[in-house]
């Protein structure tokens, strides 16, 4: 739903940088209220804060890239390309020895890249090609975030880290808007609906993600996250009227199937963030 609301905000006259700045600042405000009401501990060591600040760099690249991609290509295509990140993580993990090679993961890898290939099996304009490149950049940036979080914060409560990342992201995008003088509010009602929606859904997604991970575990949480590409395809068609070609829908199915094959083994739970 975040992608759909982002598209609405952009169609309503805003810009990608403005949308991510408003989303980051609004989500941070909601998170601060949540942490205050839930009385969650925020303790982090100085070393952890520096590491989290470093991780915020690829996170900001991911956030801006996927939002910019949505301004160039349909939401479902951007999300499908972005969800090649589990395949990227699998490749890096195998090459570095962080994970043992598994045939299930290999088949997931093949399906993921085949699905993305089918999704891209259309004639793209120069602008759309830029959107595809940005979506791919977003996937690589998020893969970097995921691997670094797993490396430095695996096995601990990452909620304080999540809040720290939100603070850094809000500061970066707010300063970018000021420096570039790029702050354009929506001029249509649907744009404001999109801005409100993307802020609320993004904050809700973050809160829901780490709350579900704490209570039901990362495996089950990850299972439900795998439905995001499918939901994006359906909601984009219903709300935005963005339709994909039949071959692209086939690619979407393959990507979703691949995501379930990338489920991590129970002995190596993934962190929430």
Structure tokens at 263: 């489920």
Domain ranges of the chain: 2-261
pLDDT reported for residue 262: 63
pLDDT reported for residue 137: 95
Compute CA distances 143 → 45, 88, 92, 138, whole Å: 24, 7, 9, 8
Give the residue from 221, 182, 203, 172 showing the smallest Cα distance to 53: 172
pLDDT reported for residue 219: 45
Q: Report CA 112 to chain centroid distance, whole Å.
A: 17
Q: Is 185 exposed, middle or buried (0-12, 13-18, 19+ CB in 10 A)?
A: middle
* Cα angle: 188, vertex 191, 197; to 5 degrees: 145
pLDDT reported for residue 267: 45
Q: Is the dihedral of CA 202, 148, 272, 229 positive or negative?
A: positive
Structure tokens at 69: 């991609």
Give the residue from 228, 218, 210, 214 showing the smallest Cα distance to 166: 210
pLDDT reported for residue 197: 86
Buried/exposed code over 24-37 (b: 16+ C-beta within 10 A; e: otherwise): bbbbbebbeebbee
Q: Cα–Cα distance between 62 and 219 in angstroms, integer? A: 23
CB 109 within 8 Å of CB 258 = yes
Mean pLDDT by 10 residues, the chain (273 residues): 83 90 88 82 86 93 93 84 80 75 72 72 74 92 85 77 90 93 88 86 70 49 59 72 73 73 52 42
pLDDT reported for residue 268: 45
pLDDT reported for residue 258: 73
pLDDT reported for residue 208: 64
């Amino acid at each position: 739903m975040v992608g759909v609301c982002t598209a609405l905000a952009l169609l309503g006259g805003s810009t990608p940088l403005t949308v991510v700045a408003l989303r980051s600042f609004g989500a941070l405000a909601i998170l601060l209220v949540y942490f205050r009401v839930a009385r969650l501990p925020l303790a982090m060591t100085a070393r952890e804060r520096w590491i989290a600040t470093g991780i915020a760099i690829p996170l900001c690249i991911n956030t801006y890239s996927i939002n910019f991609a949505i301004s160039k290509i349909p939401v479902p295509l951007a999300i499908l390309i972005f969800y090649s990140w589990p395949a990227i993580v699998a490749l890096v993990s195998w090459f570095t020895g962080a994970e043992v090679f598994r045939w299930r993961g290999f088949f997931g890898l093949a399906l993921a890249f085949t699905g993305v290939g089918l999704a891209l099996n259309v004639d793209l304009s120069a602008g759309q090609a830029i959107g595809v490149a940005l979506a791919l950049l977003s996937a690589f940036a998020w893969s970097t975030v995921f691997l670094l979080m797993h490396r430095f914060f695996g096995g601990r409560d990452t909620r304080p880290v999540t809040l720290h990342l939100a603070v850094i992201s809000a500061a970066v995008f707010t300063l970018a808007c000021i420096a570039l003088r790029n702050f354009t509010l929506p001029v249509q009602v649907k744009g404001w609906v999109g801005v409100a929606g993307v802020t609320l859904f993004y904050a809700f997604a973050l809160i829901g993600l780490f709350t579900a991970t704490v209570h039901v575990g990362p495996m089950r949480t990850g299972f439900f996250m795998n439905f995001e590409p499918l939901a994006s395809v359906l909601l984009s068609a219903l709300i935005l009227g963005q339709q994909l070609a039949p071959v692209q829908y086939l690619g979407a199915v393959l990507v979703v199937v691949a995501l379930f094959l990338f489920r991590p083994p129970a002995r190596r739970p993934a962190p929430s963030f």
